[in-house]
Amino acid sequence: MNKPKNPLPERFYVSRRSFLRRCVTAAAATGLPLWFVQRELGAADLKGNKSPNDRPGVALIGCGGMGGADTEAAAYWGDILAVCDVDQNHAAAAAKRFTEKGRVPDVYKDFRRLLERKDIHCIVNATPDHWHTLVNYGAVRAGKDVYGEKPLTLTIDEGRHLIKAVRENKAVLQTGTQQRSDARFRLACELVRNKRIGTLKEANVWLPAGLVEGPFSAAPVPAELDWDFWQGQAPATDYVPQRCHATFRFWYEYSGGTMTDWGAHHNDIAYWAIGQVSPSHVASERLSTPIPGGYNAYGDYVVNYTYANGIALNIRTTRDDSIYGEHLNPDGQPNGIQFVGADGTIWVNRDRIEASDPEILKAELPEDAVRLYKSKHHMGNFFDCVNSRELPICDVETGHRSANMCHLGAISLRTGKSLTWDAQSERFTGANAAEANTYLSREMRAPYDLSFVG
């Protein structure tokens, strides 16, 4: 493995030399207004730890695609000492990838053995969604800090257990909703919070549609895979290749479809901008039907949330030839978020930020404007907080509230009902509540419950 590079994207990195020239260049490259770029520069530099003694030991649990990408970033701040996966091929590939100066990370299949090590201080958890809570729970109870992939949990009830464990063990947990550390999204949310588009009326989110395929047939379990361990708390089934690895998220046994995948990103930004703890009502419409014996998470849908103050949040899926390609919403825009206010609109996604009137972006916010948590890099913010013991930008409670929004939508889709939500008790109330509340938790298949991790 080559020496880790500064993970801040080059288009955002602006040194203090040639200040004005760099500002203009960065503004042109990112589409951000010049005043905002100039304001950002004071915290733009990222620095690694000063000496080997300052570099914490890091372990990766879950060595698939996001695990590798997250750990590449983590290697800028820490030393990758171990990797863990129930698929031996994935683990071996990760060990090779993160070999540094002849030091090969140790390989584990059972993450509990890895958590016993005193020289490992931080965990990157990139397991499938149904393993997020148990790994995070076990890690913080073992005294580790955690960078955990989104969504934070598989169910709403899991979040309450995890918050308690993080607080009791004084752990730092960063949820991997990294768009909060993207300057475009923060600017959009600050503009909305400061009523630059007037009173917010609604937010519209476009998500990629899910896969609608099947039926699928059982197959022999690959020799390199511990299928029972991979299934974990989920109900046991025969091995079906489409249930595992990259497409696990299209099964409710392991995830929540695109609602908890891309939704965990875009819904989180809507939640940040709206500034309310939770919507009070949710309703949905199924636009396609899962094929019996195939993926069972709804792939095409509309979900409508209403907040107590009248703001609407509308989620729509959009489909093209590639599930993770350039998805277009009905107006020809890629997936992203539109904020609609009484005096204008703002559109934002990972590529650009635009407004109905250019002055909405160009006019600088006043000194006394509402400012949101500022993070220049999501993994960097995590390691900063590991050192300072402060709360990261997507702390466990923020991650829980963000995940809950996605879970509420998924539950409405699964029940097919309009639902009323009490954020204080975290229970559904009123009509259809009895059925909906059965989805707040799930019985964990033995032995893969909380006792599995102590």
Distance CA 95, CA 117 (A): 17
199-213 pLDDT, tens digit per residue, is 999 999 999 999 999
Residue at 423: amino acid letter:
A
pLDDT for the residue 334:
65
Mean pLDDT, residues 113-130 taken together: 98
Please give the Cα distance from 220 to 241 (Å, whole number): 9
Residue 30 pLDDT: 73
All domains of the chain in start order, with CATH: 19-179 (3.40.50.720), 183-371+398-453 (3.30.360.10)
Q: Cα separation of 432 and 70, whole Å?
A: 40
Torsion of CA 141, 147, 153, 159, to 10 degrees: 50
Q: Does residue 146 register a pLDDT over 60?
A: yes
The share of the chain scoring above pLDDT 70, in percent, equals: 87
- Is the pLDDT at 325 greater than 90, yes or no? no
Per-residue pLDDT tens digits for 279-310: 999 999 999 999 999 999 999 999 999 999 99
168 contacts: CB under 8 Å, gap ≥ 6: none
**Whose CA is closest to 261, among 334, 315, 189, 329?**
315
DSSP 240: -
Q: What is the percentage of the chain residues whose pLDDT exceeds 90?
A: 83
Phi-psi map region of 244: left, alpha, beta (phi>0 left; psi -120 to 50 alpha) = beta
Whether residue 292 is preceded by a cis peptide bond, meaning omega within 30 degrees of 0, is: no
Residue 44 has pLDDT above 90, yes or no: no
Task: Report residue 65's pLDDT band, with 50, 70 and 90 as the boundaries.
Answer: confident
What sign for the dihedral angle of Cα 278, 279, 281, 284? negative
Identify any residues that bridge with 348 across adjacent strands, giving them in sequence order.
337, 353
**E runs forming strands in 62-157:** 79-84, 106-108, 122-125, 145-148
Three-state DSSP at 346 gives: strand
The dihedral over CA atoms of 427, 428, 434, 439, expressed in degrees to the nearest 10, equals -70
Between strands 353-355 and 419-422, the pairing is unpaired
**What's the mean pLDDT when you consider all of the chain?**
91
Nearest CA among 246, 257, 212 for reference residue 128: 246
pLDDT of residue 1 exceeding 90: no
How far is CA 316 from its chain centroid?
A: 19
* Pair 116, 143: CB distance under 8 Å: no
pLDDT value for 14: 43
Question: Which residues are bridge partners to 306 per DSSP?
Answer: 281, 312
CA pair distance 76, 83, nearest whole angstrom? 17
Q: How far apart are the first and last CA of the chain?
A: 35
Q: What is the pLDDT of residue 272?
A: 98
316 pairs with which residues across the strands?
206, 302
**Helix, strand counts (H, E) of the chain:** 14, 15
DSSP designation for 245: G
Q: How many Å apart are CA 50 and CA 331, to the nearest integer?
A: 49
The confidence score (pLDDT) of residue 12 equals 44
303-315 burial by CB neighbour count: b if 16+ within 10 A, else e? bbbbbeeebbbbb
Q: How confident is the model at residue 42 (pLDDT cuts 50, 70, 90)?
A: low
CA distance 394 to 382: 9
